[in-house]
Structure 1
Amino acid sequence: MTQGYGLLQEEGFTAQLQDWLDAAQSDVTLINAGVSGDTTAGGLSRADWTLTPDVDAMIVALGGNDVLRGTAPEIARANLAGILDIAALKNVPVLLIGIDVPENYGTDYKSQFTAIYTDLAAEYDTLLIDSFLRPLTEIGPMSEVLNTYFQGDGIHPNAKGVSIIVQSVGPSVSDLADQVRARSAQ
């Protein structure tokens, strides 16, 4: 979703978030390292070389494709912990963004997978947003939300949906930028 699947580049999450940050005069430049269809394992495999010296902070928004594939929660947790370990080694603050887990694999799977994000955010002292899509899913009846804010696949938000997500995520990204500035001032 961060890569911008199915959207024009200027309609995607990173472009819209960059516009939001520019309007807020945040002096932040985003780099889109999202990969369409990515899993926590893919993110872990790229984390070390993605966090080059010019990267001051990282947003980790992975897990949705793990759930779609039925990945065991403990595997996803280990992959996300590995990403956070690499960020900690490189002294890069993180904003961790969770997902809403459906009950397709049962309530135990849902609760175990959902807990990954709050547990890791506490363990690694990261900023946390509970769910990437929650700003959309809380709008109203899901049938209306799907028709108005999602692409035809019912999974990926359209440009209007991304705009709502950005309005919700933007303040936390500003907080992440403030953490970077505070570290630089020390």
Structure 2
Amino acid sequence: MIATTYLTPAILALASFNVVTGAAIDSIKTPEVIPGPGLPSLKELGLTSADLYKIGRPDSSVKESSGDDSVKTSSIQARFEPRCGPSDYAYTNVNEVIACYNYLKALGNQNCVAPSGLGIAHFCYAGSAEITGQSLNPSGSSSYCHHVADAVLWTVDHCTRPDQSVAGFQAATGNGDLIVGSTSKQYIGSK
């Protein structure tokens, strides 16, 4: 009985250590998704960072309903001259960009706004990735966040390299004046 009383605290301590280190390992595998200024928090949406990573890679087609209730599928169309990169420094982990895509898609018709004066809006951060917006209109512009997500999806589909890094720019599908960047945080910060 004496051995049991001495072993129990040791076993509990080891079990607690495993729980703490397991949580730390999970946080390493799942970087935090951080909404940009003025956008709803994950808590307000009833989501967690882990949820956004678990959703995974999105389907790159948009379903449209016609009058006869049949479903057609069409690819997302470019609204400006999209581009990948432009440099190796811009590339970041594709799974982190996809987590931000899932966040922006969840916002639906919430407006994602790019400021006037060619300023850069910061829509989402995940790990080393950042989703930004910049208006081609000096007065600023906005689009539904799910349209911003469509631009992110274009980049994922067209700019992901074999090493699973991605970077690129595309216009929001609802507003050709709002250019969406899917890049490394260091790339945008270096401008």
Q: TM-score range by the shorter chain?
A: under 0.3
The structure having more radius of gyration, on CA atoms, is 2
TM-score (norm 1): 0.24
Which structure shows the bigger proportion of residues in helix conformation? 1
